[in-house]
Structure formats: C-alpha cells, structure tokens
Amino acid sequence: MDSSITLTVHGMMCASCVAHVEKALNNVAGVKTAQVNLATGKVTASYDNQATGLIEITQAISDVGYEVAKEEITLKVSGMACAACVGKVEKALGSLPGVTDVTVNLSTGNVRLTAYAGAVDIAAVKAAVRDLGFEVLERMDTQSELDREQEAREDEIRRQRRNMWLTWPLGLIAMIGTMRHMWGLDKFIPHFMGNNYFLLAVTSPVIIFGGWQFFVHSWRGLKRGVTDMNLLYATGIGSSYLIAVINTLWPNAGFGGKNATFFEAAALLTAFIVLGRYLEALTRGRTSEAIRKLMSLKPKMARVVRDGGDIEIPADEVEPGDLIIVRPGESIPVDGNVTDGYSAVDESMLTGESIPVEKKEGDTVIGGTINKTGTFRFKATKVGKDTALAQIINLVENAQSSKAPIQKLADLVAGHFIMGVHVLSLIVFFFWFFVGFDLFFSPGGRFLLSTGTLETIGVFGFSMLLSLTVLVISCPCALGLATPSAIMAGSGKGAENGILFKGAEAIETTAKLDTIIFDKTGTLTRGEPSVTDVIPTGAVVAAELLRLAAIAEKNSEHPLGEAIVNGAKEKGLSVEDAKSFNAIPGYGIEAQAEGKALLLGNRRLMESKNVDFGAYVSQVEELERMGKTVMLIAIDNNFAGLIAVADTLKETSVAAIEQLRRMGIEVGMLTGDNQRTAEAIAAQAGIDYVVAEVLPEDKASEIIKLQAQGKKTAMVGDGINDAPALAQADVGIAVGSGTDVAKETGDIILIRGDLRDVVSAVEVARATMNKVKQNLWWAFGYNLLGIPIAAGILYPWTGWLVSPQLAGLFMALSSFSVTMNTLTLKGFVPSFKKKQAIA
Amino acid sequence: MSTESKIAKISAAWYLGISGGLALVFYYVTTLQNFPAVARFGGAVWVFILTIIIAMPVVIPRIKKKYQ
C-alpha cells in the first residue's frame, strides 16, 4: 500500500543538498518519489509501506548528513494506576509511525512524545490512548508547526546576527590594518594595526567563531560523501586564512611575503558569507508568508456548549456535532452550520472576498474566518484535518513543495555544481601554475577595487588565489532558490485571492495558456433560471402579472416555477397560497386564486384551452431565439401576458471574458444545452467559439481536438460534473467549489464562483513564471559570468582579477538578490482586485 | 568490524590514494621544471585538498553501494 510523508529537514542550504537528499531517498528500496523544497525545508516522499517505512526514510536523510526535525507533544492522561499501565501506554504510542520516544510520568499523568515533525497525527495519538481504556484529559502543550518553523528561522537569524557582530567589526579592523601602507594612510592609522601579528590576532576569532559553522557542516557532509555550499565557503575561508598565516609566520616561504598576507580577505570573506546567510534567513521565510498567514488563522480555542453551559476548550478538541458559540470579533474555530443567531463574517482570508458575508440559520461557516457583528451558535460539521482551512493549507503546502518542469535544468546543474566547481578550480590552478603565470603575470597587477599590487606574489600564491576565488564566487544557492522561492510566493499569492494551485506544474502551464474553454451551466451562468422578461398585455400591470403567476406556481416543484416565485419575492411581492393547484404534465399548470382562474404554461396549453395569443407569437419566438423559456399566462381564459425565464450569465462573466481576450487568450464554451440557447448565452458573454449539445463524457474529446491543434487549453467547469474534461485539459480549473477543496478534480481550484478569478489565476501564474525566468537568468548568468572572470579569463587583456573577498560579496548578494526579486511578487495585485480597490 | 567502519576504511583508502597519487604526480611534474620548493610543496598540498574534496563524494557512495 502506498503512503506519503512530509518531513521537515534541517541543514539543507543549497540546490546540491536538495539533489543529495532526493538521491538518497530514491535509493531506498520502496520509495517511489522524493521531492525536496529548499525554500520550506520540507521533504515529501511517497513509498510502498510494505517495502519500507519511516525509519528507513529518516535514516537515509540522516545518512547524507541532514537532520529530520522532531516535535514534542505533551498529553495529560488519566486512569493509569501502575507501572504496567505506563508500559502499555509507552508501547502503544511508541509503535505509532513517526514516534521516536515516549516518556510517561505515572505520578503526574504526563505523557511526553517525541516524534518526527509532521509525521504524527494528534488525533491518532489520543485514539491510541483511549483504545487502552485511559482518558486523555487535555492536551497541555503542542508546539505548532508554525511555531517550530518560526523558531528555527529566528534561531538562525539570531545565530548569524551574533556572528555578524563578531565578524564585521573585526573584519573592518583587519581591512583598515591591511590598508595602512596605502594612500598615505599610515599617517592616520596606528602602526600596530598594520602589524601582521595584530592582524592574525584580529582575524583568527573571525575564522574560528564566525567561520567554524562552515567547516563543521562541510566535514559532516564530506564524511558521508556529500558536498554542499558549506564546502565552498570552508575551502575559500580556510585557504585564504592559511596563506595569511603562512605569510605571517614564514614570510620567506614564497607565498607573496609579509605584504601579501590577505588577512582582510579571509576576514571579510567570512563576514560577507555570514551577511549572506543572515540576509537569506531574513528573507527566505518571507517567501512563505502566505502559508504562514493561513496557518496563523487556525483558531486556538473554541467556546463549546456542554451540560447547559459554555466552556472554552482547545479548537482541535472540538468534535463533530458540538454546539459552538461565536461572539463578535472572535474567530470561528471549525467548520459548521449556523443553528441560531445572525452575523456578518469576514471570509476574505480564505476566499479573497472583501465584503463580509451574512450568516443566518442554516448557513455554513468556515473555521478560521472572523465573526464581525453578531453572536451566533453553530453545529460543528468538520474538525481537525477535515476543515476547509486545513485542506487549503495542505493544498498550498503541497503546491509549494512540488517542482515546476522548468526547475529540472537548474536541479541537474545544481546537483553536480559543487563538484564541478572544485574540478574547475583544480583546472584553473593547473593552468595558472604551469602555463598562465609565465605567459601573463604582471607584477604591477592588482585585484579589482583594491590598491595593493601583486608584485611579491609567486606562481603558487597567484595560481592558488585564482583557484580559490573560483570556489568563492560560485553560487549554487541562487540556482536552487530561483524556482521554488517564486513558486512558493506565487502559490501563496494565489491562495490570498481564493485561487488554489495544486502544484508548480499547474502554475507553469497556466502561464502558457492560449485557450480557455468554459462550461456553460453553473460556470458562465448562475446555473439556475431566473425571470428575465415580464410582458403584460395591458389587462394587468407587469408586477401584478408576476404576482399572480407566482401564486399559481407556489406549489410547483418545477425549476421554472421556482424561478417565477423567487422573481416575485425578489421584487418584494407577497405570494399568497393558491386556492387550488393542478399540474398538467407537458403543458403547464392551472390554479384558482383570489377568485380568478389562472392558466400558466406553454403554447399548447393556451391552444388546448382556446386562449388567443396570436398577437404575441412574434414576441414569443423572439424571446425563444434568445435562448429563453417563455410561459404564457391567461386570467379567466383571457390571455394576460407572458413571462420569460432563462439561466442568466453571472454578473462577472462578461468582464472576465473581455479581460481574457484582451490578454490574448481565445475563449470558448462547451455545453450540453441546445444550440440556440448556447449561442444566445455565448453572444451575451462575448464568446465566439461554441460547441453545444455535447454530452458530459464527450467534453473531454472536444478538449483533445483543441489540443491536437497545438493549443494549450484550460477547461473551466464544475469540479465534479466536468471531471473528465478538467482532467483532459492542460489545466483544469474547478470553479466555485466553496471550501470543500479536497474532493475537487482540477489543477486549479477557485473557491468562489467568480470567473474574474480565472483571469487572476492566469495573471498570478504569468507573474510567477516571469519571476522564475528572471531568477533563473540571474542565477545562471551570474555563475556563467562570475566564474570565468574569477578564473582570470580577462586578466591577460585587462589585468582584472577578482579578490576572494570581492568574490564573497558577489556570492552573498547573488542569492540575496534572487530572494529579493521574488519578494517583489508580494506587491502583485490581480487587475480586477486593483480595479475594485480603486473603485 | 562493522559494515559502516569497513566502508569508511575502504573509502578512505581509495580517496586518500587517489588524492595522494595526484598530488605526487603534480610534485613530480614540478620537479621537471624550475619551480621553487614552496610552490612544489604548496601546490601538491592544494592539489591534494581539492582532489580529496572531489574524490570523497564520488568514492564513498560507490563503496557503500558495493558493500551494503
């Protein structure tokens, strides 16, 4: 049987780490797929649970040098009386997949579990305890995933900030000291600051305390045969420091002597790398802000009615069927149906709808939304992982963890990057040592943005510095972050607007769409008929005609009758009960009301009752041509007028289609309805391409025909009825599913039924893919340009050389700029939302 | 001897051998030309370091695969 697990893994720094973890997991027998998201630090593996398990998976990750994050869960259990009970609880909980340690304290009843983060469901833990006959009194403390993630990020920020406080002041002192003999600065800078032993004393703490982390990480990886970004840092920092120490202690060793110590290079290189790590820790978390926002919506407490009173309990203790009270300003803890009370609820955080939605008895409420005005009670229907919010979080997380096809090249390059760079570094060393130095070296040359010359440096020092700079300037981090960080920000931006992308591939394909096909009923139209025309003959006014028709239809269960009754109610007309009512199948109805004999139906009904409506035949035919259903009404056997009913377009459909066409996308419609009605609706919506009278099962073949013409096609429809067509399309867009997102087919789920969200989905996808492309161009371009320059390719002609510290600065800015570029997506607003905001 | 330590030892023999070998070759080639001693020794050490970094991730997984 197939299982899937998502684990949080610490220690992954760059795209090489991603490749290593994926490779390690794919080598585990039984693992079918493994995907790593560097930006979130999440690893998702699907596996055959008969062939392998969590132990093998976590072991494989540990084996390549990374740490699988753990969480601690504390429960209070009552009913344990002796050591045997303790043993039973420990054994039962210890056997749950993902649990690594269980400690039971008999005297306090506290049970503390350590488990792989995300692998254990708290409900399963409680069920296991209850199955043993004990009671779980309360959950004392469970650190949420959000808290853990934030804590880990804050720890990293704190650690790097502390390192910066050490490395930067000392690095700057080292730089000032090294520059003492330049530009006449010796008049201002004390003599001792230029002393190599002073510089050694200043630089050593920078390397030992600030740079130690890179040596430890890279050694840990190397021991297991794994290389990562830390290795580049460690080799760069270590080598430049070593040269400086040798030139200080043994100035005649031939490394350039006492004037070429490069202490500032070692110190500033470390400082820049630490700065890069700090900026990365600061910004990386911000790309996942959307999911963080969604997670923070999870209410902590619920006020539940128990034994006649109301008590506050943790929201995840609520069970289906519980009655919950929500007061103004409070969050709704779980999903449910309002039983009494009235209020307006702000659902914008989940649906993107900015106007609060009114809630009354019978309406559904969504957990995580905020009650604005009144107090109401509701019955819980969905709790825990079944709530809409949990499903949305799950969907967005999965999308963020998935990989876009465009990432494949970056992954391929990044997987071999570190080793490739070391090989290149070796080649560069050989070239400059055996060939380049003799041919091109000029003693007057200097590093870019530096005043010191290289006159005292020898063949080994020169070759090694260039070889070293190649290691330092190269940056696989930018490559690794380019796509996932943008996908993460893009899927988050979608979720903010009620658009749920099911994966990175959906975003990539949506950005390429050139054709969008809409289903008619319920997608372009409201899906329920409504009154469009009321035409009286003059014997009665329009409102009276509608009122009488509604009275006649009040007891009818026919959808057209319901449309007339609703139409009358919407106009504020009072609809009394008819005295008598009789349905005439295939014709219409007859009723008695207010002393009048009412007839309501089609032409055949009028003809059978000898009612003359000849003067209105042309009007009837005109309305029918427009795709409307016309009902004729007679009062006391005299023709009184006609009422037309039709399934009308949603208010937003025309604007959405107009905008899609403006964006260069062809728009079409597929419907099972007759040609005349279909054409009428298409004309109103501004759609040229219409295929009518298509059975639901044939819709998929219509999509295939379009795809055969080379069109990237999306199908927009009901996620359940149009499932085959949604699945066939390059992108299936399920509209108006409300919040039951889990059961939907489709690559994109729109929570609301507003077709403008289709436009927004395309806009978000295009903006996201633009960012991905910009990031990839930058990351590839930076490395393709930076590495050859660092290798000294321009030196023979221009004399330009990049110093290790300058290379360190470039490298730090490279991945930072990718993340910063991605963060500009945060300011992206879909065009319709922008218009709404202006209005 | 556990499998783990056996793998570690065999791997070490391989990557140290490869790196040491290449460093020696480098040293030998430098003796054929007029390089200062520091350049010869320093260069050999640098070649050894870079080669060991390249060799370890190649050798260890292969040995692991062979013996596990």
Q: Determine the number of helices (DSSP H) and then strands (DSSP E) in chain A.
A: 30, 32
In this complex, the residue of B43, B49, B57 whose CB is nearest that of residue A225 is B57
Tell me the average pLDDT across A431-436.
92
Q: Give residue A288's pLDDT.
A: 63
**Residue in A519, A718, A730, A754 annotated catalytic:** A519
A79 vs A499, higher pLDDT: A499
Model confidence at A147, pLDDT cuts 50, 70, 90, reads low
pLDDT at A451: 56
**Which carries the bigger pLDDT value, residue A83 or residue A327?**
A327
Flag whether pLDDT at A5 surpasses 70.
yes
List the single residue in A with minimal CA-CA distance to B60: A225
pLDDT at A409: 73
Q: Is A242 on the interface with B (CB under 8 A)?
A: no
Half-sphere exposure of A424 (CA within 13 A, CB side): 25
* Chain B residues within an 8 Å CB radius of A226: 57
Residues whose CB is less than 8 angstroms from the CB of residue A154 and which lie 6 or more positions away in sequence, other chains included: none
A422/B50 touch (CB, cutoff 8 Å), yes or no = yes
CB contact at 8 A, A539 and A736: no
- Residues contacting A193, CB < 8 A, separation 6+: A173, A176, A177, A180, A199
Cα four-point dihedral sign A136, A137, A138, A139: negative
Q: Establish, for the pair of chains A and B, how many residue pairs have beta carbons separated by less than 8 Å.
A: 69
Please give the biggest Cα pair distance in chain A.
Answer: 123
Please give, rounded to a whole number of angstroms, the shortest distance from the CA of A785 to a CA of chain B.
Answer: 23
Identify all chain A residues contacting B51, using CB atoms and an 8 Å cutoff: 426
Q: Contact B47/A429, CB-based, under 8 Å?
A: yes
Of A222, A226, A426, the CB nearest to B50: A426
B43 to A239: CB separation less than 8 angstroms, yes or no: no
Pairing state between β A301-306 and A323-326: antiparallel
Question: To the nearest whole angstrom, how far is the Cα of B48 from the nearest Cα of chain A?
Answer: 10
Q: Does B42 touch chain A (CB under 8 A)?
A: yes
Chain A residues with CB under 8 Å of B37 CB are 254
Work out the minimum CA distance from B17 to partner chain A, whole angstroms: 16
Task: Determine the residue among A422, A430, A441, A469 to mutate to test chain B binding: the one whose Cβ has the most chain B Cβ atoms within 10 Å.
Answer: A422
**pLDDT grade, residue A709 (50/70/90)?**
very high
Distance CA B51, CA B49 (A): 5
Residue in B closest to A458 by C-alpha: B39
- Evaluate if residue A139 carries a pLDDT over 60: no
Alpha-carbon distance B22 to nearest alpha carbon in chain A (angstroms): 11
Task: Check B53 against A231: CB less than 8 A apart.
Answer: yes
Return mean pLDDT, chain A. 82
- Report yes or no: B57 at the A interface, CB cutoff 8 Å: yes
d(CA A732, CA A720): 11
Contacts A437 to B, Cβ<8 Å:
none
B25 neighbourhood in chain A, CB within 8 Å: none
- B43, A433: Cβ pair inside 8 Å? yes
Q: Taking CB atoms and an 8 Å cutoff, what residues of chain A touch B46?
A: 239, 429, 460, 464, 467
Contact: B38, A231; criterion CB under 8 Å: no
| A429 interaction partners in chain B (CB closer than 8 Å) | 43, 46-47, 50
Return the minimum-mean-pLDDT range out of A244-248, A546-550, A658-662: A244-248
Q: Is A426 on the interface with B (CB under 8 A)?
A: yes
Name the residue in chain B with its Cα closest to that of A23: B61
Asked if pLDDT for residue A408 goes beyond 50, the answer is yes
A412 Cβ under 8 Å from any chain B Cβ: no
List CB contacts (< 8 A) between B58 and chain A: 225, 419
CA dist A409 and A304 (Å) reads 53
Query: Which chain A residue shows the shortest CA-CA distance from B22?
Result: A426
What pLDDT sits at residue A237? Answer: 84
Q: Residue A474: pLDDT above 80?
A: yes
Winning range, highest mean pLDDT, from A384-393, A450-459, A737-746, B5-14: B5-14
Rounded distance, CA A165 to CA A557, Å? 77
What's the predicted TM-score (pTM) here? 0.72
Our CA angle for A20, A23, A28, nearest 5°, is: 130
B11/A contact by beta carbon, under 8 A: yes
Banded model confidence at residue A510, pLDDT cuts 50, 70, 90? very high
In whole angstroms, how far apart are CA A5 and each of A16, A55, A755? 22, 12, 35
Confidence grade of residue B48 (pLDDT, cut at 50, 70, 90): very high
A226 at the B interface (CB within 8 A)? yes
> A127 in helix, strand or coil?
helix
What tens digit of pLDDT does each residue of A626-642 get?
778 888 999 988 899 99
Q: Tell me what the mean pLDDT of segment A753-759 comes to.
A: 89
Is residue A140 over pLDDT 50? no
**What is the predicted pLDDT for the residue at A660?**
93
ipTM score assigned to the predicted complex? 0.95
Output A26 or A548, whichever has higher pLDDT. A548
Report yes or no: A255 at the B interface, CB cutoff 8 Å: yes
Residues in B touching A425 (Cβ below 8 Å): 50
Tell me whether strands A689-691 and A666-670 are parallel, antiparallel or unpaired: parallel
Chain B: residue nearest A225 by CA? B57
Which of A18-32, A149-163, A602-616 is most confident? A602-616
Give contacts of A 443-462 with B, CB under 8 A.
Answer: 458-460
Interface residue A251 vs chain B (CB under 8 A):
no
CB atoms near residue A307 (< 10 Å): 6
Strands A596-601 and A588-593 come out as antiparallel
* Mean pLDDT on A175-189: 73
3-state secondary structure of A328: coil
pLDDT tens digits for range A651-661: 888 999 999 99
High-pLDDT (> 70) share of chain A, %: 90
Pairwise pLDDT comparison (A123 vs B54), residue with the higher score: B54
B45 touches chain A (CB under 8 A): no
Q: By the 8 A CB rule, do A375 and A325 touch?
A: yes
Q: Are A458 and B46 within 8 A, CB to CB?
A: no
pLDDT of residue A141: 44
- What percent of chain A shows pLDDT beyond 90? 15
Is residue A420 within 8 angstroms of chain B, CB to CB?
no
Instruction: Say yes or no for a CB contact (<8 Å) between B43 and A231.
Output: no
Which amino acid type is present at position A521? T
CA distance A487 to A491: 6
Mean pLDDT, range B51-59, rounded to an integer: 87
Q: How far is A802 from chain B (nearest CA, A)?
A: 20
B42/A254 touch (CB, cutoff 8 Å), yes or no: yes
From A468's Cα to the closest Cα of chain B, the distance in A is 10
pLDDT tens digits, residue range A30-52?
A: 888 888 877 677 888 888 878 78
Contacts of B38 in chain A (CB under 8 A): 253-255, 458, 460
Cβ-based contacts of A231 with chain B (< 8 Å):
53
**Least confident residue range of A146-155, A244-253, A366-375:** A146-155
The pLDDT value given to residue A142: 40
Residues A251-277: tens digit of each pLDDT:
776 566 666 667 877 888 888 888 878
**What single string gives the DSSP state of each residue in A12-46?**
--SHHHHHHHHHHHHTSTTEEEEEEETTTTEEEEE
pLDDT digits (tens, 9 = 90+) for A351-369: 767 678 888 888 888 888 8
Catalytic residue list contains A519: yes
Query: What is d(CA A695, CA B31) in angstroms, rounded to the nearest whole number?
Result: 84
A407 three-class SS: helix
Q: How far is CA B66 from CA A7, B3, B59, in A?
A: 29, 11, 11
Write the residue in A225, A422, A458 that is nearest to B61 by C-beta: A225
Q: If you ran DSSP here, which 8-state letter would residue A537 be given?
A: -
Least confident of A113-117, A150-154, B55-59: A150-154
pLDDT at position A81, please? 63
- Flag whether residue B14 sits within 8 Å of chain A, measured between CB atoms: no
Q: Minimal Cα–Cα distance from A17 to chain B, Å?
A: 13
* Residue A475 predicted with pLDDT over 80: no
pLDDT recorded at residue A558: 74
Residues contacting residue B65 through CB under 8 Å, at least 6 positions apart: none
